[in-house]
Amino acid sequence: MPELEPNDNESETNDPVELINNSGFEANNTAPWFGHGETQVELESAHVYQGLYSAKATARTDNWNGIAHTVTLEAGKTYLMSAYVKLANAELDKASLSVKLTDDAGDHYNSAAYQVEVNNTNWTLLTGEYTHTVDGTDAGTYIYIEGTASGVEYYIDNISVTKKR
Ligand SMILES: [Ca+2]
């Protein structure tokens, strides 16, 4: 590796812009998160990955239900996405970090991390890349954590979405 000039080094190591607000729920509330499907989003303080708070998904009536957050993404760009997940009322299940996009062609569902095994003893990192391919106009995009069986409650913390360099 050649030595970098200080200015080059600075430009390479600047933190990427985080597109998730209240990404660790340390605002002591769950705004601006919302439920995809029937999901209720509750503030949690007993089971946290980092800090004082996390969020708990309850009232899930289907496996595609989950906690969601709107994101503004650029068409054609690739994003790095991650979230820590721990189950609340089941020992083992599978969870996905997914993206719903609505554009001129309708609704599109993709996953940055798909059906990763999660459990109730450790925090599991869901992570992966997602490329924002838009047909016409992006009428709304959000991420959500889904995939566990109906009725399974889970905690999430430290969710991140950044543009890939
Ligand atoms: Ca937290």
Taking only Cα atoms into account, the Rg of the chain, rounded to an integer number of angstroms, comes to: 17
Mean pLDDT, all residues of the chain: 94
> pLDDT at residue 73 above 60?
yes
Per-residue pLDDT, 29: 98
97 versus 10: the higher-pLDDT residue is 97
What's the 7 CA to ligand 1 centre distance in angstroms?
33
> pLDDT at residue 75 above 60?
yes
Give tens-digit pLDDT for 103-115. Answer: 999 999 999 999 9
The domain segmentation of the chain, as residue ranges, is 19-163
| H or E stretch covering 48 | none
Query: Does the predicted model carry a pTM greater than 0.95?
Result: no
Mean pLDDT of 17-36: 98
* Other Cβ atoms within 10 Å of 157 Cβ, number: 22
* 14 confidence band (pLDDT: 50, 70, 90): confident
2-16, 97-111, 134-148: segment of lowest average pLDDT: 2-16
* 3 confidence band (pLDDT: 50, 70, 90): low
| H or E stretch covering 91 | none
> pLDDT at residue 102 above 70?
yes
What's the 157 CA to ligand 1 centre distance in angstroms?
5
What's the 156 CA to ligand 1 centre distance in angstroms?
8
Per-residue pLDDT, 93: 98
Q: What backbone torsions phi and psi does residue 67 show, to the nearest 5 degrees?
A: -80, 135
What's the 51 CA to ligand 1 centre distance in angstroms?
4
Hey, which bits of 23-152 come out as E strands? Answer: 34-36, 40-44, 54-58, 66-70, 78-87, 92-103, 106-119, 124-131, 140-146
Dist. CA 74–CA 81, nearest whole Å = 14
> pLDDT at residue 124 above 70?
yes
CATH hierarchy code of domain 19-163 = 2.60.120.260
Mean pLDDT of 5-9: 51
- Please, which residues have CB within 8 angstroms of residue 3's CB and are 6 or more apart in sequence? none
What's the 23 CA to ligand 1 centre distance in angstroms?
8
Per-residue pLDDT, 7: 52
